[in-house]
Amino acid sequence: MNPVAFIYLAVVLFSIGSAAVLLRRNAIVAFMGVELMLNAANLAFVGFSRIQGTVDGQVLAFFVMIVAAAEVVVGLAIVVAIFRARESISIDDPSELKG
């Protein structure tokens, strides 16, 4: 399979993820969009790595997966805390995060 096809797929996935973040009002769907964007970036890194014949993109993708795992833990903890306090996970009310 042509490695450029991986780059095209990464662009499509990143576009879908960014549309989910920008258009949806549910925090869980927004987090899924962010995860889709991070995975699209991983696919692009691996695709470019395969085109160049090095492992640099694969190492970078590994570090992006570590950041994504940390983001999921912190993000879902914030969403659960807001849901318990407000019983809604809409991202239209940013005033809930004020101290």
55-84 pLDDT, tens digit each = 999 999 999 999 889 988 888 888 888 778
**Nearest 5°: CA angle at 93, between 88 and 95?**
115
Domains along the chain with CATH numbers: 25-90 (1.10.287.3510)
Q: Is the pLDDT of residue 28 over 90?
A: no
- Whole-prediction pTM value? 0.81
Q: Is the pLDDT of residue 97 over 70?
A: no
